[in-house]
Structure 1
Amino acid sequence: MSRAFVKEPEGDQAGDDQPERPHSTHPNYITPGGLRKLKEKLDAMIARRTELEADKDNLGARSELQSLHGEIRFLQRRIEVAIPVASNQQGTDAIRFGATVELLDDAGAPHRFTIVGEDEADAARNLISWVSPLGSALLNRKNGELITWHRPAGDRELEITGFSYVPAEVL
Structure 2
Amino acid sequence: MEQRPNFITPAGYAALKAEYDQLFGDERPKLVEVISWAAGNGDRSENGDYIYGRKRLREIDRRLGWLARRMKAAQIVDPARQQDRSRVWFGATVTIVDEEDRERVLTLTGDDEADAGSGRVGWNAPIARALRGAAVGDLRRVMLPAGEKEYEVTAITYPDAA
TM-score (norm: length of structure 1): 0.81
Q: Deviations over 1:36-70 (max 9, x none)?
A: 11111111211211111111132111101011101
The equivalent residue for 2:33 is: 54
Q: After alignment, is 80-89 or 94-103 more displaced?
A: 80-89
Aligned residues: 146
The runs of at least 4 consecutive aligned structure 1 residues that moved more than 2 Å come to: 166-169
Contact 2:86–2:136 (CA<8 Å) still a contact in 1?
no
Distance in 1 between residues matched to 2:97 and 2:124, nearest whole Å: 21
- Deviation at residue 72 of structure 1 after TM alignment: 0.1
Contact 1:103–1:162 (CA<8 Å) still a contact in 2?
yes
The equivalent residue for 1:123 is: 116
Distance in 1 between residues matched to 2:131 and 2:51, nearest whole Å: 48
The equivalent residue for 1:82 is: 74
What RMSD, in angstroms, separates the aligned Cα atoms of the two structures?
1.6
Contact 1:31–1:168 (CA<8 Å) still a contact in 2?
no
The equivalent residue for 2:21 is: 43
Percent identity of paired positions between Structure 1 and Structure 2: 32
Distance in 2 between residues matched to 1:167 and 1:82, nearest whole Å: 22
The equivalent residue for 2:89 is: 96
The equivalent residue for 1:106 is: 99
Which of these residues, 148, 154, 161, is aligned with residue 161 of structure 1? 154
Where structure 1 has 5 or more consecutive residues not aligned to the other structure, the ranges are 1-23
Contact 1:32–1:168 (CA<8 Å) still a contact in 2?
no
Change (3 A) 1:97 1:107: same
Which of these residues, 89, 106, 131, is aligned with residue 138 of structure 1? 131
- Deviation at residue 25 of structure 1 after TM alignment: 3.0
- State whether structure 2 residue 55 is matched by structure 1 residue 63: yes
Distance in 2 between residues matched to 1:118 and 1:26, nearest whole Å: 11
TM-score (norm: length of structure 2): 0.85
